[in-house]
């Protein structure tokens, strides 16, 4: 019975994988046929959207100047961590395209995180947050690392206690949430940070200008790379405003990558859904600013963008891309680098004698 059950599960997983490949190939064929009838720009516009020039609004969490300023302070606030040495910016650095340049981040007590820190830039446009989609939105995501024992290592109760021990934050929360009797709460910490994170968008990439009608915004090589990106089926998963972030997919649809890229003990979204079909399934990452966010994949083990493109060809599409094709697709990906956010480092409210002390 155990063998039969395993065989049935394997059959359905294989069928799901084949269906995924067929869908990708169908999408690529339709796009390729469309390009035989229309020009490349028209097809690109049907698949992708430019980043807007202004920050996105969050449902149920309206932005105000006071909330935005508070969120910026909290984003850079190391006292939200147990040892007062880690902030959101430690792993999602504004000056490094929203990542930290490590395979996996270093957290509380020098612990290593399990996955590569995804960029926070343009994360507001993703369908969910984290590699496994366990947070529905930016607000839910913002509260996660603070209370994660491997990351910032504190508790929701202590984070609130810490901020209440800093008079400047008591005042700032009162201004950001003026209609609340007790504004300095853990959920409001997350809400303020989310409002700030929603402003971390990168418009006006060459590809955005191209989508807006400037056909000279891309070089000839980048246009050839875009055409390959669509023809080969990359755009079946990497589409929309973020060129990703809208769906989940198995890593290794056609062929499993090496275990250095796909650690066997990290099975991805199945830990959230408890569905066997979600073994080694991860959220498709955004490709916005991808040239700035090495290393790649959830394992952070691909340090070269050309290598990452080639791996994706074999594992996800069953295609051995030629070196010339890899170069052209990579050239297109370079055109996804937009204007980086200009953020002035905030002056944080000072601690006082009664402010809780950091952990040793």
Catalytic amino acids?
Answer: 151
88 marked as part of a ligand binding site:
yes
- Is residue 295 reached through a cis peptide bond, with omega within 30 degrees of 0 on the bond before it? yes
Give the integer Cα–Cα distance in Å for 226 and 109.
44
Q: If you ran DSSP here, which 8-state letter would residue 236 be given?
A: G
Q: Are 261 and 252 a contacting pair, CB within 8 Å?
A: no
84 marked as part of a ligand binding site:
no
Rg (alpha carbons) of the chain, rounded to whole number: 22
22 marked as part of a ligand binding site:
no
234 marked as part of a ligand binding site:
yes
Give the integer Cα–Cα distance in Å for 232 and 78.
45
1 marked as part of a ligand binding site:
no
The three-state DSSP-derived secondary structure of 41-64 is HHHHHHHECCCCCCCCCECCECCC
> At 332, phi and psi to the nearest 5?
-65, -45
73 marked as part of a ligand binding site:
no
108 marked as part of a ligand binding site:
yes
Task: Write out the two tokens for 221.
Answer: 């090589």
- DSSP assignments along 275-329, one per residue: -GGGTTEEEPPP-TTGGGS-SBTTTT-B--HHHHHHHHIIIII-----HHHHHHH
Q: Which residue, among 43, 306, 340, has the nearest Cα to 205 in the 3D structure?
A: 340
312 marked as part of a ligand binding site:
yes
281 has which bridge partners?
250, 268
Q: ∠147-153-157 over CA atoms, to 5°?
A: 50
Q: Which residue, among 58, 73, 59, has the nearest Cα to 175 in the 3D structure?
A: 73
State the number of CA atoms in the 13 A half-sphere of 76 facing the CB.
Answer: 15
Give the integer Cα–Cα distance in Å for 226 and 207.
10
Can you say which residues are annotated as belonging to the binding site for heme c?
88, 91-92, 108, 234, 237-238, 312
């Amino acid at each position: 019975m155990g063998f039969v059950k395993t065989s049935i599960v394997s059959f359905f997983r294989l069928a799901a994988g084949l269906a995924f490949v067929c869908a990708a190939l169908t999408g690529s064929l339709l796009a390729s046929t469309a390009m035989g009838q229309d020009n490349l720009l028209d097809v690109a516009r049907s698949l992708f959207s430019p980043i807007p020039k202004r920050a996105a609004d969050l449902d149920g969490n309206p932005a105000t100047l006071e909330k935005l300023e508070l969120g910026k302070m909290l984003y850079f606030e190391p006292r939200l961590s147990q040892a007062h040495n880690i902030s959101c910016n430690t792993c999602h650095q504004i000056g490094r395209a929203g990542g930290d340049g490590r395979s996996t981040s270093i957290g509380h007590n020098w612990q290593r995180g399990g996955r590569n820190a995804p960029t926070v830039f343009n994360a507001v446009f993703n369908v969910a947050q984290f590699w496994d989609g366990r947070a529905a939105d930016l607000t839910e995501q913002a509260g996660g690392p603070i209370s994660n024992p491997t990351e910032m290592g504190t508790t929701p109760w202590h984070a609130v206690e810490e901020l209440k021990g800093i008079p400047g934050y008591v005042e700032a929360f009162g201004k950001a949430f003026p209609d609340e009797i007790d504004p300095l709460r853990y959920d409001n910490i997350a809400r303020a940070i989310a409002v700030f994170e929603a402003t971390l968008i990168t418009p006006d990439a060459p590809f955005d200008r191209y989508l807006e009608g400037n056909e000279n915004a891309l070089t000839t090589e980048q246009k050839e790379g875009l055409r390959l990106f669509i023809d080969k089926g990359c755009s079946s998963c990497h589409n929309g405003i973020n060129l990703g972030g809208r769906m989940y997919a198995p890593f290794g649809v056609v062929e499993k990558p090496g275990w250095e890229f796909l650690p066997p003990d990290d099975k991805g979204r199945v830990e959230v859904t408890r569905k066997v079909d979600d073994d080694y399934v991860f959220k498709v990452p955004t490709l916005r600013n991808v040239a700035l966010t090495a290393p790649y994949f959830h394992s952070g083990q691909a340090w070269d963008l050309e290598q990452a493109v080639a791996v994706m060809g074999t594992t996800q599409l069953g295609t051995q891309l030629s070196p010339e094709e890899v170069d052209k697709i990579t050239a297109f990906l370079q055109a996804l680098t937009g204007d980086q956010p200009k953020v002035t480092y905030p002056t944080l409210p000072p601690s006082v004698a009664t402010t809780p002390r950091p952990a040793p």
